[in-house]
Amino acid sequence: MANDALPFRYEQHLVTDEDLLGWRVERAADGRILAVFGPCPNCGHLTRQNVEESVLTLDYAERAAGAGEATPAPLPPPTARMTRICDCACNVAHANGSAKPVMSCGSWWLVTIALDEGAVVPVRAATDASLLPALRAVQEVTTAEESRLRSSAEKWIAAVTALVGLFGLTGVVVGKDAFTGLSPWARGCAGGAALLAAAFAAAAITQSYRAAYGWPVVVDLGNDQLLTTWFAGRRTHLSQAAAQLRRGVRWALAALAALVVALGCIWFWPRTAPAGAFVEVTRADDSTVCGTLLDSTTERGLRIRRPNGTVETVGAAELGPVRIVNSCAGGTG
């Protein structure tokens, strides 16, 4: 090998099966493909390429099944092979003009790995150039994987907070006191509408957040068929995200309408009994009258409506202690 390594130059190297004859596949104990390695077809130095069998991406919707594709005769079918981009990483200094030497000759090429562990030629030259955009996308996603997940998670935290806050809001609208004195019909109307509002709002938030930030999923790219399918799905995700956003807005409007109905039931449904504290009046003979206080019709006396509807008048002469009570449990006096 020459002392002077080839100058660095970033370009695709069109490989042949012969170029990759010395290439081998590195597998985990369970047979999973970890990496491929062999001499760089351009500079001849040993290089190694890690292989990701799956990537973490953000799923925007269910993907349509990918269409089948014609298979070049000599290679295994797409489901039995895995194509990847190899970048020379020979770790040998290659001159780079006047700049600092680069630890790579800069060439990249496509390899097709046979998934079958018993394949005679494990690594071959790729013939399907149409995979290149998808392979570039894999590289992109792989390098940004962690930051994408993190930022997606951050956004979802806000979504979860919004969901929890929603229950607080419905709690205020349909608080315990809001039902005091309401007829069962009004309670049913308000409670049902508030429940619907919560459900609609949850759907709205989930849909719009999914549209905006996706749902983190691990996608299996273990063979070329799966890769093509994944890439086809990626390209349609924009229109799917738009549809999700539209659905999200509609759900939000429905939630708002349901909340308005719930509020209407609480505010405008006639109440059967006036809200207010009960009074318990003890007469001089120790008998008690409990109920709600009414306007007096005479100057010296209290009028009290018992819970059963009868109205009693307690004159000033027989008036004993008066207490404010929360309810009229117990005797009728």
Residues making contact with Zn ion (CB under 5 A):
40, 42-43, 45, 88, 90, 92, 105
Nearer to Zn ion, 43 or 111 (CB): 43
Nearer to Zn ion, 88 or 190 (CB): 88
Nearer to Zn ion, 81 or 94 (CB): 94
Dig out the tokens for 309 from the structure.
């509807």
CA distance 304 to 325: 13
Closest approach of Zn ion to the CB of residue 46, in Å: 9
Kindly report the backbone phi and psi dihedral angles of residue 302, in degrees, each rounded to the nearest multiple of 5, phi listed first. Answer: -105, 140
**CB 174 within 8 Å of CB 190:** yes
Closest approach of Zn ion to the CB of residue 125, in Å: 16
Closest approach of Zn ion to the CB of residue 129, in Å: 21
Closest approach of Zn ion to the CB of residue 38, in Å: 11
Nearer to Zn ion, 92 or 123 (CB): 92
Nearer to Zn ion, 6 or 119 (CB): 6
Closest-CA residue to 132 (of 150, 147, 112, 148): 112
Q: What is the dihedral of CA 227, 233, 234, 235, to 10 degrees?
A: 120
Closest approach of Zn ion to the CB of residue 104, in Å: 6
- Helices 132-173 and 184-213 cross at an angle (nearest 10°) of 160
Nearer to Zn ion, 15 or 219 (CB): 15
Nearer to Zn ion, 13 or 210 (CB): 13
Closest approach of Zn ion to the CB of residue 4, in Å: 12
Closest approach of Zn ion to the CB of residue 211, in Å: 44
CA distance 158 to 288: 57
